[in-house]
Chain A
Amino acid sequence: MSRGLVVAVAGLTALLTGCTAVNTAYIPTARNGRDPFITSGDIREPYQSLGLLQVTRKGVIIFGAIDPAGTDLTAGFQEMLPRVREMGGDGLINVRWQQTQYTALARVFSIFLLGMLPGEVTITGEVVRLRRAGEPARSPSL
């Protein structure tokens, strides 16, 4: 296959697939005390702050489709959950996230970059422990 034909096919594919990249992470959590909960907002319940947490996963996306290192939102959130537990937390609040995204065009043209694209996902948040009824306040936090 000639180089011109490859470029033509890549261009046609890009035109047909559009220029929007979408990534969704399905991470259903609930405040049932068993698994850590995650929310991008604040919570109404009283809590103790246990600290800030940032997880960044980096790797290489091969041929625009194979992500052996897990650099997408799902992998990032899945890595956060056990770390929240390690810190003794019930959940993560005010979560923010960012993932490297590539359009279909960029993924197709990655073949000219040895089929490799850098991938990265970053999740940040505050680890909290819900305060139980009758639990005394702890020493000053600051």
Chain B
Amino acid sequence: MMELRSKRLQGLAARRLLLLAAVVPLVGCSAVVRGQRLSDRPDETSRGVYLSTGGAPRPYQTLGFVQVTGEGRTVAGVVDVGDAGLDGVIRGTLAQEASKLGGDGVIHIEFLDENPQTDYERLQQAAQTVNSLASGHGQVEQRRRTVVVTGEIIKFTQ
């Protein structure tokens, strides 16, 4: 009896979440992705790899070009796993690649989180997961995340 009541309550909660999830797209939602600061201009500290979405602060030689794709997954609309974070890709992988080529920096960095999740989409994923678990299917919703970053690797000549 208790088990039946518990299942009914779970089903009711899932239905409410699904109803909410159906209404929200008409209102719309926005997803905001933030990344840590890059290098200042002029870069008076001159430590580490120079990273900028703009040009170089002094004369340079181009060593090459790089593109990094970080992939990850959002599980049940709540947990982000993998390497689809802006900071990990730019400050980690991109800077490492520049160092490998003997570069001092990466300029003209362009970035795009290709499928950022709005609050509505996270809610929808959570609702579908709750609904699936409540109905005994045990399926946890997952969604692929991808961050693409490109840049020009340079070496300062002065």
Contact = CB atoms under 8 A, between A and B. Distances in A.
Contacts of B25: 58-60, 69
Interface string B49-63: 101111100000000
B86 to A, nearest CB: 6
Interface string B82-109: 0000100011000100000000000010
Contacts of B112: 54, 96, 122, 124
A54 B91 CA distance: 17
A50 B118 CA distance: 23
A79 to B, nearest CB: 6
Contacts of B32: 53-56, 83
Contacts of B55: 42
Interface stretch (A18-26, A107-115, A132-140): A132-140
B146 interface: no
A69 B111 contact: no
Contacts of B158: none
A87 B34 CA distance: 10
Interface in B10-53: 25-45, 47-49, 51-53
A27 to B, nearest CB: 17
A46 interface: yes
Interface residues of A, number: 39
A60 B51 CA distance: 37
Nearest to B39: A141
Given A46-B41, A49-B39, A94-B54, A124 B47 contact: no
B45 to A, nearest CB: 4
A94 B42 CA distance: 17
A46 B57 CA distance: 10
Interface of B: 25-45, 47-49, 51-55, 86, 90-91, 95, 108, 110-113, 116, 118, 120-121
16 contacts: A41-B54, A42-B54, A47-B40, A49-B39, A54-B32, A54-B113, A58-B28, A68-B28, A83-B32, A87-B34, A94-B53, A124-B112, A125-B53, A126-B38, A126-B54, A140-B45
